[in-house]
Chain A
């Protein structure tokens, strides 16, 4: 059965039933009168793709609102998700938390750089990487039960740390 609007002759599109003091009150309203009565928000329908994006964001752990933005280039993490390119070097710092699991997956579980250090980036960084590298070798030696090598590496690390 089709209802007409309670207030005019247009077809009703919004139907509601309220129970007030034991009394059942049915309301049938057209778009116009429903929005006047505050039952319907007059704005356009939420586009379905936006709905999906929000859904994905919600479930991928990224906050739907008030997203963190890189303070250098203004990129947000969802921008990155869209084209998988970061905006500037500082994005690595700004999104360190979200990037870490991605990087681990992409690089066989690695979390830290272990290679070349640019000379101009400073000797301190060079030293850090060197120690990090020696520690990794030590871990590997211990895992392989090569205790002779491990002992030697431990001495090397101690010596290296004392030197610098």
Chain B
């Protein structure tokens, strides 16, 4: 049976809409890049070595020491639609989904989808922990444990000077990438989002959209992540996010929300209720429009301007209206035009409209 089947009718852990500051912080993610000592990096390994790396990692990941019920997905054997589904759920990267047809590669997924381990992506192992809301400490502790368990039986490439050795020198050292996904609709509406982008860049942080690169963040969702991995400890990097970066951006967004409430309450309500009207009545819906409307609706619910729907439903719709999820959910492959109709129908159903 396809282990991915049951995934589609609900959102992953990171979209539960729970956790501290979940009105602004959608999810907290930590990933570690690791490579086995004694092998070339994936790009330069030969076929035999790639299979050997895959097999060694599979044994250590699926033997039950890490967690029960780990799902091992062989990406060489999965369909493009399944791979796309995993990308939409943020369980694998686009690069991992679309690698060449002869690259043996897999992903191991924890039963609750809080962790995923890509094998033979750019590095032998890309371990990630994903949680909803502002839960960086929890995510960090979990990934540290996973790393410790794997390290008991796998020798990781490591040097005293450079730390954990990675295929790309931009990840060397801790190999850690902390990403926090933030919903910043008010900063977008008040035009202050560019200031945040500039400040982030000055702090050597990367700002990306919902699915990585792309200048305009769909649904006003922004991923902020560190770029420096060498010369700072994991704890320092995490502390920066926890105590400085994220609280600061949350404060800016809250100020912008209060400013909208004080100075433009009618325009704010208009945006929120128009979004509701379109989402509950439209018959044809594109992905981008959906995300933009859901964003305004989410803002309205968080500010108490509308109570016809809860945050969790909105969060789920962010995901379930994506192309692969839509097709999995209805169990049919659809062309984009049919998808737009199905999307509008799904949204109406979930929002309790006809």
- Asked if A1 CB lies within 8 Å of chain B CBs, one says no
Write the residues of chain A forming the contact surface with B, with a CB cutoff of 8 angstroms: 72-73, 75, 83-89, 92-93, 96, 99, 102-103, 106-121, 125, 128-129, 133
Residue of B nearest to A93 (CB): B159
Q: Are B232 and A103 in contact (CB under 8 A)?
A: no
Alpha-carbon gap, A50 to B168, bound state (A): 26
> Which listed residue, A83, A108, A119, touches B43 by the CB 8 Å rule?
A83
Closest chain A CB from B291 CB (angstroms): 32
Complex Cα distance A41/B157, Å? Answer: 50
Q: Please state if B231 and A92 are interface contacts (CB–CB under 8 Å).
A: no
Chain A residues near B228: list those with CB within 8 A.
Answer: 106-108, 110
Number of A-B contacts (CB under 8 A): 119
A125 to B158, CA, bound (A): 10
Which residues of chain A are near B174, meaning CB under 8 Å? Answer: 113, 115-116
Beta-carbon contact of A106 and B156 below 8 Å: no
B151 and A119 form a contact (CB under 8 A): yes
Verify A121–B231 contact, CB threshold 8 A.
no
Interface residues of B (CB under 8 A from A): 35, 37, 39-41, 43-44, 122, 144, 147-148, 151-152, 155-165, 167-170, 172-174, 176, 204, 227-234, 236
On chain B, the residues within 8 Å of A99 by CB distance are 169
**Chain A residue at minimal CB-CB distance from B42:** A85
Chain B residues lying within 8 Å of A108, measured Cβ to Cβ, are 204, 228, 231
Knowing A115-B234, A128-B160 touch, does A110 contact B155 (C-beta < 8 A)?
no
State the CA gap A87–B163 with chains docked (Å). Answer: 17
Once bound together, how far apart are the Cα atoms of A89 and B170, in whole Å?
A: 14
CA distance A125 to B39 in the complex (A): 21
**Bound CA–CA A115/B236 (angstroms):** 9
- Contact yes or no, A86 B167, CB < 8 A: yes
B165 touches A121 (CB 8 A): no
Q: Which residue of A lies closest to B123 (CB)?
A: A85
Q: Chain B residue with minimal CB distance to A116?
A: B234
Asked if B229 and A84 make an inter-chain contact with CB atoms under 8 angstroms apart, the answer reads no
Give Cα A87 to B42, complex, Å.
8
Asked whether, in the complex, the Cβ of B44 is within 8 Å of the Cβ of A115, the reply is no
- Which residues in A have their C-beta under 8 angstroms from that of B35? 89
Are B232 and A88 closer than 8 Å at their CB atoms? Answer: no
